[in-house]
């Protein structure tokens, strides 16, 4: 029986077009994505599953990520593929017949399910075949592909796709069998996938990765955990192994699914009765009055007036909107989606603004951002679903013939339904607002900015979703097939999110788009508002055109074909509609023209591809000037007038430039900001403009008489920068109404700048560019002449007068000489008494100031009113840092230090001489609790350290440049944290750093050098590996010895002239203080990439007669050397490693786990056994428990002693 039903089911499935269509769609989707991933389109940065750099598109790792990712999306097909196997019988009412036949439950359910299951596997096979097919395409760049390995294609199917089709399939099949409703099956499937997303958030919080690997029903976490730290080589070469955890996970969940299926088989009834999703029992009325004798009726109906005037139609409309809204919000599916969404939102709210596991205060913009952002997924689902329901409502319930023959005008029906859909959005967003306020209250934050809630939720979000509603509604009206309508809408969502990647970047043709709008506490919505409103008006005009047109195509009556409706258009469209149509069209075109004028005429519109081409042509045309010696800036005197309200700035002043080389300079190559207007751009020395490229902003001047060695001249500049109109995107976020932050970056620079060059190797190849040297070699004599932050100058004299409007304070590096008001503007004259690096900033905002002093050094924090939360900690950080650094390293070179808050459009802090601009988003609103890492404190300490490790000692622009800046800053700030908060906080911090380093190297786009030879932009090396290594080093050789070496190094190289210092110079000082027995550490940590695999295998203990405890444990230690692409080789181990024993009973009152033994032992082999006699009952043992050595599995470094 089973086989008969199965073969019937298979014949049925494979004789119908559906499976082939699904197969084709999935194949096509895969084909498109793999093409996009393989460099078909320029400027595309599609990145799935860690692809990028040297990882190949058909590598086992990418194949696994891509296949599993796409199949996850394609699970949405399972209701149709598997649910349909059983649902179909109910739909066609065949069950009434079928269930009366002598078939067994297992035969029926099993046969149907397996049939659907096999059909699904067939459909999902298109993903692997799609990738394989694409990899053979001759037009694609073959650099993206390696050899196709069959097992690499098969393994995701064996461990992920097929088991999950079984698991999800059974769940869906069960829903279909019980509910007998297609919609319920679909929603069940969506709920399952969404719940999985929620579970993902929760799972990622579980520290124990093996537990979360087992709990994940799809088995994705096991894969993520396994490959989290994989390097390029591993991703390219290693077939995803079927690990024990993966196996266990698959076994658990498959048996769960099979259990569910057996239960279904056991409980299934061949009955006619349908299970209904309902909240109340719907009793059928029995008409009891069976009286065949007629009563003579006399119809007496009250007379009524039918009024079709405009005013009453309007009133009628309002009542209809209410009616339709009520019917929508009573929909049980809607309620189901809504409740899921609310749960999802609440779970996300707990993650508010996490940095280093520390959350921020729930300020309104954060809350709205997170709640509104996560809820928007549900709004999309709700809009898609409800728009279909409301357009089809009458037909679904067969009320259409009644309603359509009534005298209500079509536009009333149309408008009432569309308005009701919008009303539902208002209700939903009000719920979000309500949830936001609750979240804030629960978190103890009571500054509810209702005004901001309204602007953000209704001004921004609602207007967007209203546009989506109109589109969804119009699509459903035009397509006139509910499921096709949903499908087209989903296609639209996908298309609009991939449009940018396909080179369609202009907001003029991207429905409902805008150049973006971002709120900052400091700047509000600022200059974003105007273009935003214009864009919204533009798209609303378009939406109204759509709405009016589709109103005339509304299906009224039984004529549903598009052709017929279109022919009725003339009859249906009224004069008033024509007028509004023309009016909207005029508004749409006028606004479109205005936008075009702003984005393409006032500003330059460039696609990503054009930008890349420009970069390419810069390199091709001007690379030849690399070797031309340029004069260097030795003095900068710049008056900067900032007009915050007008968003305009004027720079007027001069550079003194000097020929510091030993050859005469006859011409000068200048990069200038081509968006600025120049009133003056002159040399005091006679010079002719010999070349100009206005498009790229390049000028070459030829001196009439060459600039001789040691000769100098003035370059006088008077320039104005003011954004014109608005741009398609990336508006100037530095020149603001409140919180302007300008740097020397706006000013002209000298010489060819290799920093602009394209770095992506495959793109370089495409544009016929030679392989790029990503950073100059450490012995490159020309590169040694420059610091890594500027090619134009090193130590300069600096003076500036900066002015701003009367309610703001303007700040620049230097000591305030004079402050005055003139013409209603505030002027500040700053001057440095010593030379500083050519790296200055000018800021202006309406600041509050916190002032303090440390040893005669003036400290201040300029902050936005309301952001007082952490300024005391930041002040404390400055003091503690100054204290530690000046005591252990060199004296502080300035008499002041200032922190300046700037808006959150950029998310960093940056150290200029005695001036630290600090983004509002990285600490000012952090909500620090005792157990958290105090990152405002840490960032302050780090930036303060830069006053030494950049502004005293600055590395040359070669490999390893940031070792003497960022690495030392990490070390310095960790020491300040240790002194202030204790070593435990540093250990917590190191855990994060370990994770960031290992994930950072896993997504390396080029190659990973040893620390000593890092490239300047490799954050995971100079920040994360830097922290780990320096923390370990200070532990191994001792803080004092290390500091003495650093001090000696700093004294030698502070304020040096070129050639500048390198990491090799630095390491010499470290080697000097390192005992011979530990010299290997320097080699392991700085000169090579070394990893360990340390783990505790087994542990037990016994109590001795004297009350002490004997603890025995065995550990395994392995040491590996990795090459620049992450290929590892095991090497002999002969290392000192921490061995530790912990106990919970050292202190009776607080049962905190503490170390009772921590000692370094020399480990010389893989397996080692230890035995200790300890005073207290041991609870845990560990090898390298505090992660001083780089280890990919930190969780097995310790083992808790289980109580038997």
Partner 1 sequence: MELKIVNLSKTYPNGVQALKNVNLTIPKGMFGLLGPNGAGKSTLMRTIATLQEADNGEVRLNDIDVLKQKSKVRKRLGYLPQEFGVYPKISAETMLNHFAELKGISNKGERKDIVKALLEQTNLYHVRNKNISGYSGGMKQRFGIAQALLGDPNLIIVDEPTAGLDPAERNRFHNLLSEIGENIIVILSTHIVDDVSDLCKKMAIINQGEVLLQGDPSELIENIEGKIWEKVIEKKELESYQEKFNIISSRLYLGKIIIHAFGDTNPNSFEPIKPNLEDVYFSSIKNGKKIVNL
Residues in contact with partner 1 by the rule CB under 8 A: 282-287, 289-292, 294-308, 312, 315-316, 319-320, 323, 327, 330, 393, 397-399, 401-409, 556-559, 561, 564, 568, 571
Q: How far is CA 150 from CA 37, 54, 155, 545, 1101, in A?
A: 20, 21, 9, 53, 49
The kind and range of the H/E element at 1200 are strand 1198-1200
Q: Is residue 678 a contact partner of residue 840, using CB atoms and an 8 Å limit?
A: no
Minimum separation from the CB atom of position 414 to partner 1 (A): 13
The C-alpha atoms of residue 507 and residue 496 are separated, in whole angstroms, by: 11
The pair phi, psi for residue 666, each rounded to 5°, is: -105, -20
The C-alpha atoms of residue 456 and residue 719 are separated, in whole angstroms, by: 37
Minimum separation from the CB atom of position 300 to partner 1 (A): 7
Helices (H), 556-693: 562-572, 575-596, 608-622
Minimum separation from the CB atom of position 190 to partner 1 (A): 22
One-character DSSP codes across 356-392 = TTBPBP--HHHHHHHHHHHHHHHHHHHHHHHHHHHHH
Q: Is residue 163 a contact partner of residue 251, using CB atoms and an 8 Å limit?
A: no
The C-alpha atoms of residue 26 and residue 795 are separated, in whole angstroms, by: 60
The pair phi, psi for residue 41, each rounded to 5°, is: -110, 140
The C-alpha atoms of residue 795 and residue 566 are separated, in whole angstroms, by: 75
Q: How far is CA 1024 from CA 507, 782, 1010, in A?
A: 39, 30, 13
- Of residues 208 and 405, the one with the C-beta less far from partner 1: 405
Residues 6+ apart with CB under 8 A from 523: 736, 737, 738, 739, 903, 905
DSSP three-state, residue 474: helix
Q: How far is CA 710 from CA 587, 628, 631, 713, in A?
A: 64, 17, 10, 10
Length of the chain: 1204
C-alpha distance across the termini of the chain, in Å: 53
Q: Is residue 364 a contact partner of residue 441, using CB atoms and an 8 Å limit?
A: no
Minimum separation from the CB atom of position 56 to partner 1 (A): 53
Per the rule left: phi > 0, alpha: psi between -120 and 50, beta: everything else, 1059 is: beta
3-state helix, strand, coil in the chain (%, to 5): 50, 20, 30
Per the rule left: phi > 0, alpha: psi between -120 and 50, beta: everything else, 233 is: alpha
Structure tokens at 301: 């109906």
- Of residues 339 and 403, the one with the C-beta less far from partner 1: 403
The C-alpha atoms of residue 17 and residue 27 are separated, in whole angstroms, by: 15
The C-alpha atoms of residue 1 and residue 1055 are separated, in whole angstroms, by: 89
Q: Is residue 228 a contact partner of residue 221, using CB atoms and an 8 Å limit?
A: no
Minimum separation from the CB atom of position 553 to partner 1 (A): 14
Among 1011, 949, 939, 1032, residue whose Cα is nearest residue 977? 939
Helices (H), 397-409: 400-404
Q: How many CA atoms lie within 13 A of 89 on its CB side?
A: 23
**Beta-strand pair 632-643/795-805:** parallel
- Of residues 151 and 318, the one with the C-beta less far from partner 1: 318
Minimum separation from the CB atom of position 413 to partner 1 (A): 8
**Where does 96-231 show beta strands of DSSP type E?**
none
The C-alpha atoms of residue 103 and residue 96 are separated, in whole angstroms, by: 13
The C-alpha atoms of residue 938 and residue 491 are separated, in whole angstroms, by: 46
- Of residues 129 and 408, the one with the C-beta less far from partner 1: 408
How many contiguous H segments (helices) and E segments (strands) does the chain have? 36, 27
């Amino acid at each position: 029986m089973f086989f008969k039903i199965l073969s019937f089911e298979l014949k049925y499935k494979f004789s119908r077009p559906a499976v082939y269509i699904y197969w084709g769609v999935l194949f096509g989707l895969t084909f498109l994505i793999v093409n996009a991933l393989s460099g078909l389109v320029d400027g595309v940065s599609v990145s799935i599953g860690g692809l990028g750099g040297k990882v190949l598109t058909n590598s086992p790792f990418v194949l696994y990520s891509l296949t599993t990712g796409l199949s996850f999306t394609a699970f949405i097909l399972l209701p149709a593929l598997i649910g349909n196997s059983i649902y179909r019988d109910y739909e066609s009412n065949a069950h009434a017949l079928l269930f009366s036949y002598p078939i067994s439950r297992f035969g029926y359910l099993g046969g149907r399910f397996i049939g659907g299951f096999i059909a699904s596997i067939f459909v999902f096979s298109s993903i692997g075949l799609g990738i394989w097919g694409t990899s053979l395409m001759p037009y694609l760049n073959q650099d993206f592909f390696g050899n196709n390995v069959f097992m690499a294609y098969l393994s995701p199917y064996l461990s992920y796709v097929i088991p999950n089709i079984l698991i999800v399939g059974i769940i869906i099949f069960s829903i279909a069998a019980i509910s007998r409703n297609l919609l319920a099956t679909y929603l069940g499937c969506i709920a399952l996938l969404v719940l999985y997303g929620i579970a993902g958030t929760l799972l990622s919080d579980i520290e124990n990765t093996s537990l979360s690997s087992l709990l994940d029903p799809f088995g994705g976490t096991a894969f993520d955990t396994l490959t989290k730290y994989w390097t390029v080589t591993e991703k390219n070469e290693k077939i995803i192994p079927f690990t024990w955890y993966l196996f266990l996970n698959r076994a658990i969940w498959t048996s769960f699914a099979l259990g569910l299926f057996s239960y279904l088989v056991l409980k299934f009834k061949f009955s006619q009765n349908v299970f209904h999703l309902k909240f109340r029992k719907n009793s059928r009325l029995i008409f009891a009055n069976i009286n065949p004798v007629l009563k003579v009726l006399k119809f007496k109906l009250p007379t009524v007036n039918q009024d079709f005037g405009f005013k009453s139609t309007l009133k009628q409309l309002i009542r209809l909107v209410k009616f339709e809204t009520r019917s929508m919000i009573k929909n049980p599916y809607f309620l189901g989606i809504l409740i899921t969404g609310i749960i999802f939102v609440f779970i996300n709210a707990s993650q508010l603004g996490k940095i280093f596991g520390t959350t921020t205060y729930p300020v309104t913009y954060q809350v709205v951002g997170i709640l509104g952002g996560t809820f928007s997924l549900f709004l999309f689902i709700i809009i898609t679903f409800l728009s279909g329901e409301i357009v089809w409502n009458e037909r679904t319930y067969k009320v259409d013939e009644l309603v359509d023959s009534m005298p209500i005008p079509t536009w009333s029906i149309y408008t009432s339904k569309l308005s009701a859909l919008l009303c539902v959005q208002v209700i939903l967003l009000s719920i979000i607002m309500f949830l936001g306020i609750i979240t804030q209250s629960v978190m103890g934050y009571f500054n509810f900015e209702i005004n901001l809630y309204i602007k953000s939720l209704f001004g921004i979000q609602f207007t967007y979703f209203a546009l989506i509603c109109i589109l969804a509604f119009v699509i459903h009206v035009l397509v006139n097939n509910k499921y096709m309508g949903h499908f087209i809408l989903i296609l639209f969502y996908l298309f609009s999110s991939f449009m940018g990647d396909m080179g369609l970047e202009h907001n003029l043709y991207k429905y409902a788009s805008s150049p973006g709008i971002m709120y900052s506490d400091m700047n509000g919505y600022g200059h974003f508002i105007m273009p935003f409103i214009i864009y919204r008006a533009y798209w609303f005009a378009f939406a109204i055109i759509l709405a009016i047109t589709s109103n005339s195509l509304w299906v009224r009556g039984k004529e549903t074909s598009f052709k017929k409706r279109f022919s009725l258009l003339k009859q249906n469209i009224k004069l008033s509609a024509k007028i509004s149509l023309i009016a909207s069209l005029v508004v749409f075109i006028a606004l479109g023209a205005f936008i075009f004028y702003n984005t393409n005429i006032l500003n330059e519109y460039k696609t990503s591809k054009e930008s890349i081409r420009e970069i390419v042509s810069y390199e091709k045309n001007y690379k030849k000037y690399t070797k031309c010696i340029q004069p260097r800036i030795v003095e900068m005197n710049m008056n900067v007038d900032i007009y915050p309200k007008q968003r305009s700035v004027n720079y007027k002043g001069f550079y003194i430039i000097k020929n510091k080389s030993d050859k005469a300079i006859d011409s000068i190559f200048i990069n200038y900001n081509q968006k600025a207007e120049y009133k003056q751009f002159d040399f005091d020395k006679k010079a002719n403009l010999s070349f100009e490229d206005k498009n790229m902003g390049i000028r070459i001047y030829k001196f009439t008489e060459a600039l001789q060695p040691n000769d100098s001249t003035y370059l006088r500049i008077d320039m104005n920068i003011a954004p014109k109109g608005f741009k398609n995107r990336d508006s100037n976020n530095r020149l603001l109404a409140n919180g302007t932050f300008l740097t020397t970056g706006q000013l002209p620079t000298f010489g060819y700048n290799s920093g602009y060059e394209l770095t992506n190797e495959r793109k370089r190849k495409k544009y016929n560019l030679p392989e790029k040297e990503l950073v100059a070699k450490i012995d490159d004599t020309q590169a040694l002449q420059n610091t890594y932050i500027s090619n134009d100058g090193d130590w300069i004299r600096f003076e500036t007068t900066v002015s701003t409007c009367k309610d703001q304070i303007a700040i620049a590096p230097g000591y305030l000489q004079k402050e005055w008001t003139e013409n209603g503007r505030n002027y500040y004259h700053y001057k440095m008494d010593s030379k500083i690096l050519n790296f200055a900033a000018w800021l202006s905002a309406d600041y509050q100031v916190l002032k303090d002093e440390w040893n005669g050094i003036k400290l201040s924090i300029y902050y936005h009113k309301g952001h007082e939360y952490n300024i005391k900690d930041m002040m404390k950080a400055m003091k503690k840092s100054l204290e530690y650094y000046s005591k252990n390293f060199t004296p502080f070179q300035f008499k002041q230090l200032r922190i300046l808050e700037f808006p959150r459009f950029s998310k960093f802090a940056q150290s200029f001489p005695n001036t630290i601009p600090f983004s509002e988003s990285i600490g000012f609103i952090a909500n620090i609790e005792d157990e958290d890492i105090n990152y405002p404190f840490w960032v302050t300490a780090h930036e303060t350290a830069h006053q030494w490790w950049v502004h005293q000692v600055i590395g040359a622009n070669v490999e390893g440049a940031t070792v003497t800046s960022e690495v030392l800053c990490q070390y310095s700030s960790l020491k300040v944290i240790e002194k202030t908060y204790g070593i435990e906080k540093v250990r917590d911090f190191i855990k994060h750093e370990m994770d960031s380093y290992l994930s950072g190297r896993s997504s390396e786009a080029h190659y990973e050098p040893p620390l000593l030879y890092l490239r300047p932009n490799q954050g995971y090396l100079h920040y994360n590996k830097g922290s780990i290594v320096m923390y370990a080093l200070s532990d191994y050789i001792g803080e004092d010895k290390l500091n003495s070496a650093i001090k000696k190094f700093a004294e030698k190289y502070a304020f040096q002239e070129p050639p500048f210092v390198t990491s090799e110079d630095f390491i010499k000082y470290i080697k000097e203080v390192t005992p011979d027995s530990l010299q290997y550490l320097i080699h392991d940590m700085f000169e090579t990439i070394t990893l360990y695999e340390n783990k505790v295998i087994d542990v037990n203990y016994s109590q001795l007669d004297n009350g002490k405890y004997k603890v025995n444990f065995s550990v395994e230690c392995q040491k590996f050397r990795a090459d620049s692409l992450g290929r590892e080789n095991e090497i002999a181990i002969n290392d000192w490693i921490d061995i530790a024993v912990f106990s919970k009973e050292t202190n009776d009152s607080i049962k905190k786990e503490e170390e009772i033994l921590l000692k370094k032992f020399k480990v010389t082999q893989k397996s080692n056994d230890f035995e200790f006699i300890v005073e207290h009952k041991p609870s845990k043992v560990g090898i390298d428990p505090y992660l001083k050595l780089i280890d990919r599995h930190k969780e097995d470094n310790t083992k808790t002693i289980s109580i038997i």
